[in-house]
Amino acid sequence: MGADGKIMARAARKMREEAEARHEGFLQRRREIYQALPRTEEIDRTLRTTAGRIVAETFRSGGDPGRAIAALREENLALQRERREILSAAGLPACALEEEPACPLCGDTLYVEGQPCRCLLERTTAEQNRELSRMLDIQGQSFDTFSFQWYDNAYWEAEGSSPRENMEIVYELCANYAHNFGSRSASLLMTGAPGLGKTFLSTCIAQEVSAKGFSVVYDTAAHVFAQFERSKFGREDEAAEADVHRCMACDLLILDDLGSEMATAFVVSALYQIVNTRLMTGKKTILSTNLTPEEVGRRYGAAIRSRLEGEYQVLTFFGEDIRKLKRR
């Protein structure tokens, strides 16, 4: 699963800061307990010397560590019992002087055998979702709130079906796509007139795929191209460079509203770089556009057209503009 490296690093940094703060809090609480109940500090000091005492005791008992260890274990258990009783008499939990890690799997080291621990992966996902939701205008848009009532049942000669029938297929496909997203997923081209739910459905996919832990970048094509331009021509524009890197590296890139930007030579080459590089590296892309596939080909050239024709699954949207229908 391709979590965004930078986001994971940030998640790890935050988790370490939090662990540090928890540790400080523990030390502070322990100081207060020691002050109020000095016997507990004595007990803890003795317990901490167990290892040294095993060595000393082994010498004294003529070199038999087994006997020494058994005797010390008894003593330690008695000390722990005494400490528990002191704490509970003071109305404190029995574990008040023990520092437990927030994650028992990795003991808050965030890694297990060199691999990111589940706690770190979960936090990374949460961070990714937060980052994504800053870019997404979700407005309650989800597969559950998608309504078919805006798509007419009347047959469209040119399309060979009704908007409703078509949307039922498109919706199913998008829901399954999000549900089963993975390395074998296709890339999608959503094409159709404005106001038909392309942005709505791509938003739904973005949320669900991201919630599964994949890195998802959602942005308008115009903004992405602007960032590409800034990172290329701007001097040391770190924010733009980071955006470009995220666009190229994420598991799923959603470029919304392709065609609304000025089609300069730079834009054409940036789009080619995005489409081609992401195909070669096995990353998935969703393009949504008000242009027809033919218009896309004319606008961005043969190289891009052949990539899209060969590798993208085309989802055609048709019907009446929902924005206009809702206004009526």
Ligand X SMILES: Nc1ncnc2c1ncn2[C@@H]1O[C@H](COP(=O)(O)OP(=O)(O)O)[C@@H](O)[C@H]1O
Instruction: Output 104 or 310, the one with its CB closest to Zn ion.
Output: 104
Stretch that binds Zn ion, among 65-73, 103-111, 264-272, 273-281 (CB under 5 A): 103-111
Q: ∠260-305-273 over CA atoms, to 5°?
A: 75
Of 8, 43, 106, 253, the one binding Zn ion by CB under 5 A = 106
User: Shortest approach of ligand X to residue 150 CB, angstroms?
Assistant: 5
User: Shortest approach of ligand X to residue 248 CB, angstroms?
Assistant: 24
| Interface positions with ligand X (CB under 6 A) | 141, 146-147, 150, 194-200, 322-323
Q: ∠135-139-6 over CA atoms, to 5°?
A: 25
Instruction: Output 126 or 322, the one with its CB closest to ligand X.
Output: 322
User: Shortest approach of Zn ion to residue 28 CB, angstroms?
Assistant: 24
What gap in Å lies between CA 225 and CA 79, rounded to an integer? Answer: 68
Instruction: Output 128 or 220, the one with its CB closest to Zn ion.
Output: 128
- Where in 39-78 is the site for Zn ion (CB under 5 A)? none
What gap in Å lies between CA 10 and CA 16, rounded to an integer? Answer: 10
State both tokens at 275.
């489409």
Say if residue 28 is exposed, middle or buried (CB neighbours under 10 Å; 0-12, 13-18, 19+). Answer: exposed
Q: Roughly what angle, to the nearest 10 degrees, separates helices 221-233 and 265-280? A: 100
State both tokens at 76.
């330690």
Instruction: Output 196 or 253, the one with its CB closest to ligand X.
Output: 196
Q: Is 11 in the site for Zn ion (CB under 5 A)?
A: no
- Where in 146-205 is the site for Mg ion (CB under 5 A)? 198-199
Alpha helices in the chain (DSSP H): 5-36, 38-48, 50-60, 65-89, 118-135, 163-179, 198-211, 221-233, 238-249, 265-280, 293-300, 302-311, 322-327
User: Shortest approach of ligand X to residue 202 CB, angstroms?
Assistant: 8
Of 9, 56, 90, 105, the one binding Zn ion by CB under 5 A = 105
Binding site for Zn ion (CB under 5 A): 103, 105-106, 117, 119
Rule CB under 5 A: which residues touch Mg ion? 198-199
